[in-house]
Amino acid sequence: MSPAEQRPDDRVIIFDTTLRDGEQSPGISLNVGEKLEIAHQLARLGVDVIEAGFPIASPGDFEAVRSIAAEVEGPVIAGLARAQAPDIDRAHEAVRVSARPRIHTFISTSDIHIEHQLRSTREDVKGQARAAVAHARSLVDDVEFSPMDATRADVEFTAEVVQIALDEGATTINIPDTVGYAMPAEFAAFLERLYELAPGLRDIVLSVHCHDDLGLAVANSFAGLQAGARQVECAINGLGERAGNASLEEIVMLLRTRAADVGLWTGAQTREISRTSRLVSRLTGYAVQPNKAVVGRNAFAHESGIHQDGVLKERSTFEIMDATTVGLDANQLVLGKHSGRHALKSALQELGFDVDGQALNAAFKRFKEIADKKKHVTAMDLEALVTDELRDQLRAYTLEWFDVEASTRRPPHARVGVRSPEGELMEGDFTGDGPVDAIFRAINAATRREGRLREFRIDAVTGGQDALGEASVVLELSGQSAGGQGVSTDIIEAAALAYVRALSNAERRVLAAAADEAPAEEAEATELTATP
Ligand code: KIV
Ligand code: ZN
């Protein structure tokens, strides 16, 4: 669709919830630096709204939303809040530093939630919705309201609550299919009925938020857009609670590929899709299935001879999208072992990383190590290296050296040297079930920490025999779980780097949790002593 054909009324607002609903996926636990990295990339991707988190949920969530609001320019920055004043105040505190702050408040309208979860009544829900939207509106101009579990609720009652939110000044009304229960035609009919019952919906933005429990999240979202919604809530790689949310890349490419028939368009820079997907996968530890639409490794691969022959003759014989439109041509050779610091800096700049000073020195040192072992360093290699190396290294353990003996005749044995955050070189060794197990336990022994491995994954960054291995570890330490990544041509080294980083991240969380609890304990002590 050419810009001249793009009618303003047909523009679909892309509301990305990777950092909020996506982050609620089991096992994902991103730190503030990682969330910022993803938020900056989402801004490059051109999303309209970033739902950065749920600020009341924890001090870490608050800090992440606030940092994103302070640093990320372009998109609206939204914070989620239950329909309660303390939640809304906390969300406001977090997003207010953004040039474009939004508060997103929600309460359920289904009887099943009202009775069993809220243990409340429809009347109370109406009152809470009214007070919440009014309060949020007194703080910011941009307020979104969601009647949670709407698709299992009575449409007449949901319309009443929606009308209350409209009366109090909500600027976006979002209809969630919270449990992924709806079917496309039914969802469209639900929205059409809401338009009839609350005609004021035509004057604001109607939004849809669909979960994928029955694999219908994208289909339902699309049906919602065809029924008149102009905001779609979605997440990179379809992350989200349980089976996930509608996948951003699928929605965007659906609207783009079928623009001539559908007439809807978005402001997304589609060439950033692949990179965003890889970054999110890398930082969350959630692999993208190879046959996943748009971003799967095989989404543009042709195995059958007939298909290959067809594509060689004319791409459109078996491809409905051009891989370059989603940024899949990024793997051309960029640097070799003779490339200098300046070449690295400009290659990184092209990838969207502005690296200088100490960070550039660190990246250059790492690049040289890799380029010595690997003939061609591609853009995808650089991307993996940079995201691996340039993260916040405050209070971190570092892997200094390791030896691993692996054999089919003796149990594998590992020895490691790890430098503590205070600078002490600590050594440890362990005989494990396998070389990776041995090195992880040797790191525990050296650091005298009881890290418990929860997830471990190893992937090749690119194809080929000398491909970089990228390891991803999630571990638990004293009740806190955290992830880390490592990249190397040697997969044992990549695994050890990932483990050491995960351990550092977990330890920071343990320390932060202890610091958060300290004032509460003091307050409790004061209260107790004050009681007669
Ligand atoms: O699924 C859901 O209902 C939600 C709301 C908070 C919008 O995530
Ligand atoms: Zn949701």
**Phi, psi for 92 (deg, rounded to 5):** -65, -45
Structure tokens, 279: 């970054």
Adjacent-strand bridge partners of 148: 108
Report pLDDT for 481: 84
What's the pLDDT score for residue 391?
60
Q: If you measure from the C-alpha of residue 115 to the centroid of ligand 1, how many angstroms do you get, rounded to a whole number? A: 18
pLDDT beyond 90 at 92: yes
In the block, tokens 């079928």 appear at 258
The three-state (H, E, C) secondary structure of 136-148, written as one string: HHHHCCCEEEEEE
| Per-residue pLDDT band at 526 (split at 50, 70, 90) | very low
Banded model confidence at residue 389, pLDDT cuts 50, 70, 90: low
| CB 21 less than 6 A from any atom of ligand 1 | yes
Ligand 1 binding pocket mutation candidate from 103, 107, 146 (most atoms within 8 A of CB): 146
pLDDT digits (tens, 9 = 90+) for 37-80: 999 999 999 999 999 999 999 998 999 999 999 999 999 999 99
Q: Quick check: CB of 244 below 6 Å from ligand 1?
A: no
> Which range, of 24-28, 410-414, 452-456, averages the lowest pLDDT?
24-28
Q: Which residues is 472 bridged to in the sheet?
A: 457, 485
The minimum-distance atom of ligand 1 relative to the CA of 176 is 3
- Does the beta carbon of 148 sit less than 6 angstroms from any atom of ligand 1? yes
Q: Tell whether the model's pLDDT for residue 352 goes beyond 70.
A: yes
- pLDDT given at position 485: 86
Residues 185 and 270: their CA atoms lie apart, in Å, by 28
Ligand nearest to the CA of 151: 1
Is residue 509 lining ligand 1, measured as CB closer than 6 Å?
no
Per-residue pLDDT at 373:
81
pLDDT of 88 reads: 98
Instruction: Give the residue, by CA position, lying nearest to ligand 1 atom 6.
Output: 106
- The H-assigned helical ranges of 168-229 are 184-197, 217-226
Residue 146 CB–ligand 1 contact under 6 Å: yes
Whole-angstrom distance, CA of residue 323 vs CA of residue 55: 37
| CA-closest residue to ligand 1 atom 3 | 178
Q: Are 204 and 174 a contacting pair, CB within 8 Å? A: no
Cα(210) to centroid(ligand 1), Å: 8
SS3 292: coil
For residues 445 and 427, give the distance between their C-alpha atoms in angstroms, rounded to a whole number: 8
Q: How many residues does the chain have?
A: 532
Using CA positions, which residue lies closest to atom 1 of ligand 1? 178
C-alpha 176 – ligand 2 centre gap (Å): 7
Q: What is the mean pLDDT of residues 315-319?
A: 84
Calculate how far, in angstroms, residue 175's C-alpha sits from the geometric centre of ligand 1: 9
The whole-angstrom separation of Cα 503 and Cα 516 is 20
- Specify the ligand 1 atom closest to the Cα of 211: 1
Work out the average pLDDT over 148-156: 98
pLDDT tens digits for 93-150? 999 999 999 999 999 999 999 999 999 999 999 999 999 999 999 999 999 999 999 9
Nearest CA-CA partner of 345 in 334, 333, 331, 329: 334
Contact 53 CB / ligand 1 (< 6 Å):
no
Find the 455 Cα to ligand 1 centroid distance in Å.
27
In 266-356, alpha helices (H): 273-284, 305-313, 341-350
278 to 85, 313, 353: CA distances (angstroms): 38, 30, 15
- Look at the block and give the residue holding tokens 């900056």: 40
Looking only at the bridges linking them, the beta strands covering 143-148 and 172-177 are parallel
d(CA 213, CA 149): 13
User: 501 pLDDT exceeds 80?
Assistant: yes
- What CA–CA distance (Å, rounded) separates 126 from 165? 9
Which two structure tokens, joined as six digits, stand for 359? 């960070």
In single-letter form, the type of residue at position 515 comes to: A
Ligand 1 centroid distance, CA of 240 (Å): 10
| Global pTM value | 0.85
Ramachandran angles phi, psi of 430, nearest 5°: -160, 145
Q: Which atom of ligand 1 is nearest to the CA of 149?
A: 3
What is the CA(14)–ligand 1 centre distance, in A?
16
Q: Which residues, including other chains, have CB under 8 Å from residue 68's CB and lie 6 or more apart?
A: 19, 35, 36, 39, 50, 52, 53, 77, 98
Atom of ligand 1 nearest to the CA of 17: 8
Span 11-20, pLDDT tens digits: 999 999 999 9
Angle at 344 between CA 339 and CA 347, to 5 degrees: 115
Contact 262, 253 (CB under 8 A): no
Q: What pLDDT digit, counting tens, does each position of 411-444 carry?
A: 999 999 999 999 999 999 999 999 999 999 999 9
Mutate to test the pocket of ligand 1, among 21, 110, 158 (most ligand atoms within 8 A of CB): 21
Cβ of residue 106 lying under 6 Å from some atom of ligand 1: yes
Alpha-carbon distances, residue 153 vs 81, 109, 181, 204, 240 (angstroms): 21, 6, 11, 22, 22
Tell me how far apart the alpha carbons of residues 296 and 345 are, in angstroms, rounded to a whole number.
29
Cα(20) to centroid(ligand 1), Å: 10
Q: Which of 106, 172, 211, 232 to mutate to test the pocket of ligand 1 (most atoms within 8 A of CB)?
A: 106
Lowest mean pLDDT among 107-111, 222-226, 239-243, 503-507: 503-507
The closest ligand to the CA of 234 turns out to be 2
Q: Name the closest-CA residue to atom 8, ligand 1.
A: 21
Query: What pLDDT is attached to residue 363?
Result: 84
Structure tokens belonging to residue 137: 């509106």
Determine whether the shortest distance from the Cβ of 178 to ligand 1 is under 6 A.
yes
User: What is the rounded CA–CA span in Å between residue 449 and residue 477?
Assistant: 8
- Pocket probe mutation, ligand 1, options 104, 172, 209, 245, max atoms within 8 Å of Cβ: 209
**Dihedral in degrees, nearest 10, Cα atoms 246, 249, 251, 257:** -160
Q: Which of 80, 113, 178 to mutate to test the pocket of ligand 1 (most atoms within 8 A of CB)?
A: 178
Tokens standing for 167?
Answer: 């009366």
Q: How far apart are alpha carbons 107 and 157 in whole angstroms?
A: 13
Specify the ligand 1 atom closest to the Cα of 233.
7
Question: Which ligand gives the minimal distance to the CA of 235?
Answer: 2
Q: What's the token pair of residue 521?
A: 């304990």
Ligand number with the minimum distance to the CA of 231: 1
Q: Which of 388, 449, 391, 396 has the alpha carbon at shortest distance from 423?
A: 396
pLDDT, residue 333, reads: 54
Q: Give the residue carrying structure tokens 């059958």.
A: 304
For the Cβ of 209 lying below 6 angstroms from any atom of ligand 1, the answer is yes
Give the separation between CA 20 and CA 36, rounded to whole angstroms.
13
pLDDT band with cut points at 50, 70 and 90 for residue 520? very low
Residues sharing a CB contact under 8 Å with residue 85, sequence separation 6 or more, in sequence order: 131, 132, 135
